[in-house]
Structure 1
Amino acid sequence: MKKSTIITTIVFGVTMLLSSNVNAQKFPDLDKSPMDMASYPNDYKDPAKLVRIIYSRPQLKGRDLSTLIPDGKVWRTGANEAAEITFYKDVKLGDKKIKAGSYTLFLLPEKNTCTVILSKDLNVWGSYTYKEANDVARLSITPTEAADSLEAFSMVFTKADKGVVLNIGWDKVRVAVPFTE
């Protein structure tokens, strides 16, 4: 056997051995609470966004909403990682000016109100490490009840007179969060 043939055979064998590790990778199954995104404007062809939010979408699956999101406990606004909202322009939440940038969105449900919280903490799993000292803004909102029930937690932006509204819904609960320009 020629020296070049032996070298070619060895190189081929090593390549096959190394590539077999790549083929043996284990990829995870689909997440039970898939990640989603909402933005405004919501037309994917329009690059001039005002705001975008990335969140995970848990489902009710026969569970009671008050058990999943108990009153008096800060909630990550979705599942898995806390929802991250990015503003591409300065906006206001209530009277508080919010600089363009990314924030974590938490909710604090109470008996008849829901406090919307923007935090400067990013890349947060759940609300386990939430620190009130890192809040950038808070706004208390009165939730409403819809006639229809949403199985999957959902968010969508709608146009408002002087900005946008982040509409949050799960089961029959609806929270409308106004951001003004």
Structure 2
Amino acid sequence: MKKLIIGGISAICLLIANPVNAQEDDKVNFTKEELKFSKMDASPMDLAMYRDENDVAVARVIYSRPQKRNREIFGKLIPYGEVWRTGANEATEITLYKDMKVADALIKAGTYTLYTIPGEKEWTVILNNKTNTWGAYEYSEKEDKVRIQVPVRQAPNTIEALSMAFQEANNGADLIIGWDDSYVKVPFKAAK
């Protein structure tokens, strides 16, 4: 006990006699030229989260949100019939924390890239095994885990920024993806 008290007193005396200032190693005041941060991204990153009734994470989507800015989106900026990263910048990623069913396909828990192929009447939604990609440049159909077709729906109002949200549905949730004047629903069901 005496050794512990003496050891503790010695440590306190050392701290008082030789105070450590963390700022000595770091520059305290930066000039305007030295302190630079990147500007806000034109398509900021966002996420949509789906939690079950017990507030347990089931799925998460991380994506960048391009803006409409008076542009014609589908069929022009985003061509019909071509693989799209479903956002801007890095390809959109979806993480499933539990095994889920997408349409009739069982998808194991894990992280996948969410690609889409927009069309006028329906979209092809793709979960792909290759992750950490920029754009759709590295897309390979050989890496597809599942592909499903979902109908395009008319949005009740213009959606200025690409938006995603989970909406509870029978035994799971629909991932709603909307932009401009349309949206799609991608069904995710609990695996049984």
Q: TM-score range by the shorter chain?
A: 0.7 to 0.9
CA distance in 2, matches of 1:132, 1:20: 52
The 4+ residue runs of structure 1 with deviation greater than 4 A are 20-23
Q: Identify the match of residue 170 of structure 2 among 161, 164, 178.
A: 161
CA 159–72 in structure 1, closer or farther in 2 if over 3 Å, else same? same
Matched, 1:86 2:87: no
CA 25–88 in structure 1, closer or farther in 2 if over 3 Å, else same? same
CA distance in 2, matches of 1:124, 1:101: 16
Please, which runs of 5 or more residues in structure 2 have no aligned partner? Answer: 1-23
Name the TM-score, length of structure 2 as normaliser. 0.79
What displacement does 1:20 show? 8.0
Supply the AA of the counterpart residue of 1:50: V
CA distance in 1, matches of 2:147, 2:30: 47
Q: Identify the match of residue 175 of structure 1 among 175, 184, 192.
A: 184
Matched, 1:36 2:53: no
CA 160–150 in structure 1, closer or farther in 2 if over 3 Å, else same? same
Contact 1:121/1:134, CA 8 A, preserved across alignment = yes
Contact 1:42/1:157, CA 8 A, preserved across alignment = no
What displacement does 1:147 show? 2.4
Supply the AA of the counterpart residue of 1:64: E
DSSP-derived class of the 1:78 partner: coil
What displacement does 1:72 show? 1.0
| Corresponding residue number in structure 2 for 1:58 | 66
What displacement does 1:148 show? 0.6
| Corresponding residue number in structure 2 for 1:107 | 116
CA distance in 2, matches of 1:42, 1:35: 24
User: Per-residue displacement from partner, 1:102-146 (whole Å, max 9, x unpaired)?
Assistant: 000000012321000000111110111111100000001111112
Matched, 1:120 2:132: no
Supply the AA of the counterpart residue of 2:44: P
What displacement does 1:19 show? 3.0
- Which protein has the larger Cα radius of gyration, Structure 1 or Structure 2? 2
Question: Which protein is richer in helix relative to its size?
Answer: 1
What is the Cα-based RMSD across aligned positions, in Å? 2.1
Matched, 1:72 2:100: no
CA 169–20 in structure 1, closer or farther in 2 if over 3 Å, else same? same
Name the TM-score, length of structure 1 as normaliser. 0.84
Matched, 1:135 2:133: no
| Corresponding residue number in structure 2 for 1:9 | none
CA distance in 2, matches of 1:125, 1:42: 30
User: Per-residue displacement from partner, 1:72-123 (whole Å, max 9, x unpaired)?
Assistant: 1100011111111000000011111100010000000123210000001111
Supply the AA of the counterpart residue of 1:139: I
Please, which runs of 5 or more residues in structure 1 have no aligned partner? Answer: 1-14
